[in-house]
Amino acid sequence: MSNAIASPDSEIVRPGARIGIGARIDHHRGLIIAIGALIAMLIAWVALSATPVGLYDIGSLISSAATLALVAIGQTIVVLSGGFDLSASAVLSLANVLAVRFVHGSPLEQWAGAALIVAIGGGFGFINGALIAWFRLQSIVVTLATMFMVQGLTLLIQNKPGGSVGDQFAGFVTSDLIPDKLPMSAGILIAALLVWAFIRRTRFGVGLYAIGSEPDSAYANGAPVTRYRIMTYVLAGMFYAVAGLYVSAQTGSADPLVGRPLLLSMFTAVVLGGTLLGGGRGGCVGTVFAAMTLMVTVNILLVLNVSAFFTTIAEAVILILAVLGSSIGKQSAAHESARHAVQWLKAWRTGTRARNGRGGSTRRVAFEVEDFKPIANTELSGRWLTDWIERNREWAKYIVPAYLLFFGVVAVTGFVYGPGVLVSANFYSSLLTLTLFLAILGLGQGAVILTGGLDLSVPWLITLSGVLLTGLTHGLNEAAWWAVPVVLAAGLLVGLFNGIGVVVLGLPPIVVTLAANGLLQGITLIYCNGSPQGWAPSAISSFTNDHAGPLSLAAWSVPLVLVIALLLLHRTAFGRRVYAVGNSPVAAKLSGVRVGATLIAVYCLSAVCSAIVGVLLAGFSSQAFLGMGDPYLLPSIAVVVVGGALITGGRGHYLGVFGGALLLTALGTLLAGTTVPPAVRDIINGVVVLAAVITLRDRKG
C-alpha cells in the first residue's frame, strides 16, 4: 500500500503528519456523540426512576446490552468495509441452538463445544464473504438469502424453545467479574473491544478502513481486497456466534428465533455509535456505548410505564436520526438534509432541468428515454417470430430460464403425486391463487429493484394491512367498501415515507425501509394491543377461496394483474423512467426525467402492492395474525431476481418476474405435500436466490 494509511476512525492520514485537537475531535466525533448520548440517557433514567439507581442496576444494564453489543460489533466490522450483513441475527440464533447440543460434558468439553460454535459462525461468514468477494455480488442480497438459509437450518435443528447448556459454561458467563459490583458480561465486552483494538492496528485493520473508504484505491495500493472482504465476514460471523453463546448462557436454554428482533436494533447501535453507513469511518467502541444507550432507552420506557410495543418505534426513530446525524462533518446534518430537500423540490418544480455548464443557464435536453426505438432488421421482415426473437433476445435469455424451471417443477410434481394431479383443476386453482400474491408483490418490489433500491418494509406492511382490515370491518361486507380504501391509503402513506426518506433526506433505501418496518411493527402491535381482532369480510374471503367454474376468482384475476403490470412497466412513460433511473440516475436527469418523483412513485407502488397482498392474505385465511408478512420478504425479492432482473437495477422484465412467481409457487406446492419441514422452503428459496444472482449477474461489474 502507499504511504498514506487509514486512521482507525475515519480519514486517510500521512505518516508523520500532526493531527490537531480539532482534527482529533473530528476523528472521534462518533464516539464522543455515542458517549454523550449514553450519559444523557443515564441522567434521564436516574432522574425518572422512582428508586435509586445503584451498581446492581448498572450491572443489569450491561448484562442486558451485552448480546446486542456483541452482535453489533460484528455488524460494525462489516459496515466499516462498506457492506451490510442481514444474516447476523440468523447466525446468532443458530449459535444459540447449537449451544444446547455441543456445550455439555466436562468443562473442557463445554469450552471446546463453544469454540466449535464460534468456528461455525466464522464458517458462515466465510460463505458470505466468498460469495460477495469472488462473484462481486451485493452484500445485501447475499446476506438476505443466507439469512433465510441459516434461519431454515436453525429451525430444522430445533423448532421450538428448550434445551440446556453446561453448568460450568453458563456459571462462568453469568458470574461476577468483580463480586457484587461488575458482572462477567462487562469482562466479555472488554475482551471483545481488546480484540478489536488489536485488529484495527494490524495491516488487515488498516485495509478494512481503506476498503470501506475507497476500494478501488485500496486495490491500486496493493491491498488484497478479496481476502480482506472474506476475513471481514468471517470475523463478523464469529462475533455473532459469541453473542448466541452468551444468550444461551444467560437464559440456560435455546430459542430458534431469539435473534430475529435484533436486526433493527443492531443497525441502530452501529449508526448511533458513529459508524458511517458506506464504510471507512467509525469503530466498535462507540457501538458498545450505543447498545447500552438503547437498553437505557428501554428502561426509561418501562419507568414511564410506556408499552413495550413502542420499543421498535423508538429504535426506528433513533436509527433515522442517527443516520442523519452521521452526516455531520463539513456540513451539518440539517444543512445536508435541507440541501437534498431544496434540490428535490427544485427538480419537481422545474421538471429536472439540467445545467449545461455554461454561464449557469439551463436547457431541456431534447431527447427522452422513450424516443429510442429498436432498429428494424429488414432481412427478417415477413418472418414475425424470428424477428420477434431477434429484437427481444437480450431480455428473453433472462426470462426463459424461470419458465423452463417452472415446467420442470410441474413435471416433478406430476411424477411425485401422480399424473392425475396435472389434470386437476384444484391444482391449477391453488397454484394461480398463491401466484397472485407473489405476482402483486413482484410488481412493487420489482419496480423498486429496477431503480436500484430495495424495500424491506414489506413484511410488517402486509401484517398491518391485514390487521387493519379485520379490525375495521369485523367481518362486515358493508364496512369493506370504506375499510379497503383506508388500508390502501395507509400503504400509500408508508410508500411516501420511504420515498421521501430516500429522495428528500438522501438516506440509503435499506435504512429507510428497515426503519419503516420497525415503525410498522410497533404501530401494528399498538393498534391491536398485541392480539389482532375481528374477521375478514366474507366478500374478500370469497374472492380468494370460492370458485367460479374450475378456478377461484383470485386465479381468474391473475391474467388481469399480468396485463396491468406489463402495461405499467413496459408501455407507459412511468415504466420507461423507472428503467432510465435504474440504468443511470444522472443520465435520466439529463434526459429530463424527474428522478425524485419517479423514485417516490416506485416506493408508493411497492407499498400499495404490499397493502393489497395484506388484504388478500387476510381474506385467504379469514383472519389476520402477527407476522403474517414475514414469509414474503425473501420471495418478494426472489421472484424479481429469479425472473432475470439485475439486483443493482436497470435490467429486467415483468414477464420474468411473473415466471419467478410461478416457479416459487410451484416449488412451494411441490414441497407442501411432502414430509419436508416448512423450514426447508427458506433454505431452498435462499439457494434459488443465490443461484439466480450468481448466474444472471452483470459480469461487467
- CA separation for the pair 427, 417 (Å, rounded): 11
Q: Residue 352: what pLDDT?
A: 47
The residue to which cell 414511564 is assigned: 304
* Residue 344 is assigned to a structural domain of this protein: no
Higher local confidence (pLDDT), 212 or 371: 212
Q: Nine-digit cell at 582?
A: 435504474
Residue 93 has what pLDDT?
Answer: 97
> Do 227 and 91 fall into the same domain?
yes
Give, to the nearest 10 degrees, the angle between helix 333-350 and helix 311-326: 90
Q: Which of 276, 302, 329 is the last residue of a domain?
A: 329
Q: What is the pLDDT at residue 297?
A: 93
Instruction: Tell me: do 435 and 292 sit in the same domain.
Output: no
647 pLDDT exceeds 60? yes
CB contact set of 677 (below 8 Å; sequence gap of 6+)? 155, 156, 159
How many domains is the chain built from? 2
Q: Examine the domain organization and report whether 160 and 293 are in the same domain.
A: yes
| Better pLDDT: 193 or 280 | 193
Whether the per-residue pLDDT at 329 is higher than 60: the answer is no
The pLDDT value given to residue 284: 95
Statement: residue 6 has pLDDT above 50: no
How confident is the model at residue 56, as a pLDDT? Answer: 85
pLDDT band at 378 (very low <50, low <70, confident <90, very high): very low
* pLDDT of amino acid 49: 87
pLDDT in tens, 107-124: 999 999 999 999 999 999
Give me 5's grid cell: 494509511
∠ at Cα 141 (138, 146), nearest 5°?
A: 120
Write down the pLDDT at residue 2.
Answer: 41
> What is the model's pLDDT at position 369?
39
Beta-bridge partner residues of 551:
548
Residue owning grid cell 461468514:
125
Q: Is 51 contained in some domain?
A: no
Same domain, yes or no: 678 and 540: yes
User: How distant, in Å, are the alpha carbons of 29, 50, 297, 448, 689 from that of 305?
Assistant: 34, 12, 12, 40, 44
C-alpha distance from residue 222 to each of 191, 219, 263, 314, 504 (Å): 31, 5, 35, 43, 38
Rounded (10°) angle between helices 538-545 and 477-503: 80
Contact between 637 and 689 under an 8 Å Cβ cutoff? The reply is: yes
Asked whether residue 354 carries a pLDDT value surpassing 80, the answer given is no
Closest CA to 611 of 454, 493, 508, 518: 493
Q: In the numeric block, which cell numbers belong to residue 346?
A: 427544485
Residue with more model confidence, 696 or 331: 696
- 322 and 426 housed in the same domain: no
Of the pLDDT bands very low, low, confident and very high (cuts 50, 70, 90), residue 396 is confident
Half-sphere exposure at residue 535, Cβ-oriented, CA atoms within 13 angstroms = 9
In angstroms, how far apart are the furthest CA atoms of the chain?
A: 89
Provide the pLDDT for residue 525: 95
- Among residues 329, 352, 379, the one where a domain terminates is 329
Distance between first and last Cα of the chain: 24
The per-type count for the chain, helices as H runs and strands as E runs, is 29, 8
Grid cell, residue 128, equals 458470505
354-355 vs 362-363, strand pairing mode: antiparallel
Residues 507, 489: Cα–Cα separation, whole Å = 24
One domain, residues 538 and 413: yes
With H, G, I as helix, E, B as strand and everything else as coil, classify residue 361.
coil
Check: CB of residue 604 under 8 Å from CB of residue 490: no
152 and 294 belong to one structural domain: yes
Local confidence band at 384 (pLDDT 50, 70, 90 cut-offs): low
Instruction: Tell whether 373 is covered by a domain.
Output: no
Among 272, 300, 329, the domain-final residue is: 329
Residue 10 or residue 646, greater confidence: 646
Residue 358 — pLDDT band, cuts 50, 70, 90? very low
CA 490 – CA 460 distance, rounded (Å)? 12
Stretch among 43-57, 147-161, 392-406, 632-646 having the lowest mean pLDDT: 392-406
Other beta carbons within 10 Å of 383: 12
Amino acid 181: pLDDT: 80
pLDDT at residue 20, as a whole number: 61
The answer to whether residues 420 and 311 belong to one domain is: no
Does 594 lie in the same domain as 480? yes
CA distance 17 to 187: 36
Once rounded to an integer, what is the mean pLDDT over residues 598-622? 97
Cross-strand pairs, 5: 13
Q: How many CB atoms lie within 10 A of CB 590?
A: 16
By residue range, what is the domain housing residue 97? 35-44+57-329
Asked whether the predicted pLDDT for residue 682 surpasses 90, the reply is no
The answer to whether residues 434 and 557 belong to one domain is yes
Predicted confidence band of residue 688 (pLDDT cuts 50, 70, 90): confident
Q: What phi, psi does 179 have (nearest 5°)?
A: -50, 130
The letter for the amino acid at 202 is T
| Residues 257-270: tens digit of each pLDDT | 999 989 999 999 99
Q: Is residue 23 part of a domain?
A: no
- Per the domain annotation, does 396 fall within a domain? no
Residue 685 confidence (pLDDT) above 90: no
Question: Which residues, listed in sequence order, are joined to residue 552 by a DSSP beta bridge?
Answer: 547
How high is the mean pLDDT of the chain? Answer: 87
Which residue's entry shows cell 426447508?
680
- 24 falls within a domain: no
C-alpha cell at 358: 455554461
DSSP 64-102: HHHHHHHHHHHHHHHHHTT---TTHHHHHHHHHHHHHHH
Rounded to an integer, the average pLDDT of 388-413 is 83
Predicted confidence (pLDDT) at residue 397 exceeds the cutoff of 90: no
pLDDT per position as a tens digit, 155-170: 999 999 999 999 999 9
Residue 90 belongs to some domain of the structure: yes
pLDDT computed for residue 9 by the predictor: 43
pLDDT of 462 above 80: yes
Q: Is the pLDDT of residue 383 over 80?
A: no
Question: Tens digits of per-residue pLDDT, 498-549?
Answer: 999 999 988 899 999 999 999 999 999 999 999 998 999 999 999 999 999 9
CB 159: neighbour CB atoms within 10 A?
A: 14
Give every CB contact of residue 586 below 8 A, 6+ residues apart in sequence: none
- Tell me if 352 is assigned to some domain: no
Contacts of 388 (CB under 8 A, 6+ apart): none
Give mean pLDDT, residues 566-577.
94
| Average pLDDT, integer, range 326-334 | 48
Residue 439 pLDDT class (50, 70, 90 cuts): very high
Bridge partners of residue 12, in order along the sequence:
6
- Asked if 467 contacts 524 with a C-beta cutoff of 8 angstroms, the reply is yes
The residue-averaged pLDDT of 678-696 equals 87
Tens of pLDDT, residues 580-594: 999 999 999 998 999
Give the pLDDT score at 196: 96
Report DSSP state, residue 684: H
Q: In percent, how much of the chain has pLDDT > 90?
A: 68
Pair (406, 310) in one structural domain: no
CATH number at residue 639: 1.10.3470
pLDDT-based confidence at residue 191 (cuts at 50, 70, 90)? very high
Question: 476 with 462: CB under 8 angstroms?
Answer: no
Domain identity same for 207 and 62: yes
Residue 343: per-residue pLDDT: 54
More confident residue, 156 or 674: 156
Asked if 218 and 227 count as a contact pair (C-beta separation under 8 A), the reply is no
Q: Above 50 in pLDDT, residue 48?
A: yes
Between CA 250 and CA 173 the distance in angstroms is 7
Give 137's strand partners: none
- For residue 23, the model assigns a pLDDT of 60
